[in-house]
Amino acid sequence: MSAASNPRTVEEIFKDFSARRAAIIRALTSDVDEFYGLCDPEKENLCLYGHPNEIWEVNLPAEEVPPELPEPALGINFARDGMNQRDWLSLVAVHSDCWLLSVAFYFGARLNRNERKRLFSLINELPTVFEIITERKPGKDMPSVDSGSKFRGSAKRTSEGQVKRISSKMEDESYEADEDEQGETLCGSCGGNYSADEFWICCDICEKWFHGKCVKITPAKAESIKQYKCPSCSMKRRS
């Protein structure tokens, strides 16, 4: 494998991921007629590949075991004529999302913990192939990760309660149109409305949302906070 096809840094791996993702999206959207025609159920097990030069390919899986890279879903062609075309494309999209992640973290196996978190953060800011194919809006109709907490954009809490930042760079244009539905969230400090282009953080005690700038918390600082307490809750604990 050449150096160009063996990305090692977070930036190189994300660039590789983005190119493969763009290729697959093209296969399932603008090139869908060609893709559909190549997935003949009468042929052998076929896979959809996205390459780092943004070219997609329908081909047989690699013969070597284990393969050089993780392999895409096998036999995507077999279900083509037994399903509604949109449902079939959505199914291929879901498996493609899984494959893209597996390839990214195959390359990222040697990254340290913080680098892996940064890689996932970059990937998570992009809408999935499934969301694009089904025209779903990121963050809409998504359940909260832990009961009682509000879910806004790509803000997530891990099982340990760690607060993750709200994405300010969602690529899906439809995300912006969803802001009106999220406008009921007000900053617990200044009372300002929620905005997708600003960093917000949620207090793990009172579960109110705050502008990061209002409580002097940056995205980088938030990554290292396991349990965030807003100024008001911090004062209550001291008294």
Bigger pLDDT: 161 or 52? Answer: 52
| % of the chain exceeding 90 in pLDDT | 49
Name the burial class of residue 111, with classes exposed (0-12), middle (13-18) and buried (19+) by CB atoms within 10 angstroms of its CB: middle
Which stretch of 36-40, 119-123, 221-225, 230-234 has the lowest confidence by average pLDDT? 221-225
Contact 234, 206 (CB under 8 A): no
Higher pLDDT, 160 or 233: 233
* pTM of the complete model: 0.57
Backbone φ and ψ for 184, nearest 5 degrees, come out as -75, -10
Q: What is the pLDDT of residue 180?
A: 46
Contact 24, 89 (CB under 8 A): no
